[in-house]
A = this chain, B = another copy of it.
Amino acid sequence: MADIIIKNGYILTMNPAQDDIKQGVVVIKDGIITRVAESTDETADTIIDAKGGVVMPGLVNTHTHAGMTLFRGYADDLALSDWLENHIWPAEAQLTGNDLYIGTKLACLEMIRSGTTAFVDMYIHMDSVARAVEESGMRAALSYGMIDLGDHERGMSELKEGRRFVREWNGRADGRITTMYGPHAPHTCSRDLLGLVKEYAIDDNVKIHIHILETEAELNEMKKMFGMCSVNMLDELGFLDNDVIAAHCIWLSDGDMDILNKCGVNVSHNPVSNMKLASGISPVPKMLARGVNVSLGTDGCASNNNLDMFGEMKTAALLHKVDTSDPTTLPARQVLEMATVNGARAMGTNSGMLKLGCMADVIIVDMDRPHLTPVYNVASHLVYSASGGDVRTTIVDGKVLMDDYRVLVMDEQKVMDEARSATEKILPTVGLTRTT
C-alpha cells in the first residue's frame, strides 16, 4: 500500500520530454515517487484530490539567507554600501542563535506556503538554522558563511567553524539536511582561505556555496588585487567545478561565462535582489545558451522582500525579455525548469521532476482562481499569473507539510509572534525606530 496518492490533477512532470498528463495520479511511498500515470489501482493511507490544480515538483530556491526574514523591509531604497554597512551588518551582529532559529522558522513557514520545498542557505548561527529546518520538514543545503577580509587568523577560525558545522549536520533529518562550505565571496575571503575551503570540501565530499561578482565593486577590487576578475582567479585556484553553486554572477565577461560552463559551475540567478539593490543584470540568456546550469534564488528577505519563487520566476522572465529586446527570451517552460530541474541539479538531489524514483517533493497549485482563469497553457500561468499564495498543498520527502492551505508542521501564529518579539528586541540595539 502506498503512503500518498494525489489524483485528478494536471501533472506537470517537468521531464525534458514534457510528458504532462492532463488528468493523472502521482503515487508516493517511503518518500519516493513510485508512479506517475493517468490512473492507478493502488490504495494509500492518504488520498489527495488535486481537482482544479496543477501537481508539480516543489520549487527549489538556490540562494537565500533564510534568517533574514527578521530584517524584512527594515532598510529599503538605500545605496548598497549604506544598506549593508550601516544597516544589515550592525543588525546581524545583534542576532543570537535563538533569533536565527526563529527567523529561519518564519522563512520555512513562508516557503512551505509558497511552494518551495528545498533551499540553499548561507548564514550564521547555523546549528539554530539547521534545527529550524529539521523541525520544518523542509529540504535544505546549509552552509556557514565565512569571511576573513585577509585576516589569516580569522580565516582559520571561520574555516574551523565551517568544518564543524559541515561534519556535524551533513545527512541529518533523514537526509533532508545536507551541508556545504560557504566562503562569502572572492573579495571578502583571502585566496588562501578559498584554497583551503576547496581542499576541505573535497575531503568532506560536500559542495561549496559562494557569491560571485554580485557587484561591479567586486570586479574592480579583484582586478586591483589580482590583476584578474573573480572567475579567473577562482579558475586558476582550481576552485570551480560542478560542486560549486555561485550566486548572482552579474559582472561576467564572455570569457568568464565560458569558464563557468567549462567547469560545470551551477549559477543561482537572483533577479529581484539584483534589481532592488541595483547590482546589475546577470547575462542569464548567454549562460543558458552556453549550457550553464542556471537556477533561481530569492536571496534574503532584506533585499527582495519575500521568499516567493513564483515572483522570482516572473521577474526573471520579464527582466531578460526587456534586457535583450526579445519577448521570446526565457519562455515560461524554461523559467520553470530553472526553478525546479536546474535547482535540484545544483543541489545534487534526485528531485525537481515528477518521475519514478524521484524524491517526493511535490506541490499542488490551485488553478481555480479568478486570476488563473481561463487556462490555455499551464506553464504560462505558473510563471506569469500565479503567486505563492496559490499553492494549496506542499509535500517534502513524502510528508505533507501543508494540506489545502493548512500548515501542519508548525503553529503559524506562534512563529509569527515569536518573530515579532525577536524584532522588538533587535530594534533598539541597532538604533532603529519603526519607519511606519
Smallest Cβ-Cβ distance to A76: which chain B residue: B380
Residue interface bits A278-303, CB-to-B below 8 A is 1, else 0 = 11110000000000000000000100
CB under 8 Å from chain B, chain A span 1-55: 10, 20, 22
Interface contact B419-A78, CB-CB below 8 Å: no
Smallest Cβ-Cβ distance to A74: which chain B residue: B376
Q: Name the B residues within 8 Å of A304 (CB-CB).
A: 384-385
CB under 8 Å from chain B, chain A span 214-250: none
* A275: Cβ under 8 A from any B Cβ: yes
Q: List 12 A-B contacts (CB under 8 A).
A: A73-B380, A77-B328, A77-B380, A106-B373, A275-B321, A278-B322, A278-B325, A305-B380, A305-B385, A370-B415, A373-B419, A378-B436
Q: Name the B residues within 8 Å of A372 (CB-CB).
A: 72
* A428: Cβ under 8 A from any B Cβ: no
How far is it, in angstroms, between the C-alpha of A79 and the C-alpha of B329 when the chains are bound?
Answer: 10
Interface contact A373-B416, CB-CB below 8 Å: yes
Smallest beta-carbon distance A59→chain B, Å: 14
Interface contact B278-A73, CB-CB below 8 Å: no
- Residues of A in contact with B (beta carbons under 8 Å apart): 10, 20, 22, 69-70, 72-74, 76-80, 83, 106, 109-110, 113-114, 272, 274-281, 301, 304-308, 311, 314-315, 317-319, 321-322, 324-332, 368, 370-381, 384-385, 387-390, 412, 415-416, 419-420, 422-423, 432, 434-436
How far is it, in angstroms, between the C-alpha of A415 and the C-alpha of B371 when the chains are bound?
Answer: 12
Interface contact A114-B72, CB-CB below 8 Å: no
Smallest beta-carbon distance A324→chain B, Å: 7
Interface contact B376-A73, CB-CB below 8 Å: yes
Whether A277 contacts B370 in the complex (CB less than 8 A), given A22-B436, A73-B375, A384-B306, comes out as: no
Whether A435 contacts B385 in the complex (CB less than 8 A), given A318-B275, A319-B275, A322-B274, comes out as: no
How far is it, in angstroms, between the C-alpha of A322 and the C-alpha of B282 when the chains are bound?
Answer: 11
Smallest beta-carbon distance A141→chain B, Å: 22
Smallest Cβ-Cβ distance to A421: which chain B residue: B374
Q: Name the B residues within 8 Å of A370 (CB-CB).
A: 106, 109-110, 113, 412, 415-416
Q: Name the B residues within 8 Å of A379 (CB-CB).
A: 436
Smallest beta-carbon distance A74→chain B, Å: 4
Whether A331 contacts B374 in the complex (CB less than 8 A), given A322-B274, A322-B280, A389-B387, comes out as: no
Q: Name the B residues within 8 Å of A434 (CB-CB).
A: 375-377
Smallest beta-carbon distance A137→chain B, Å: 15
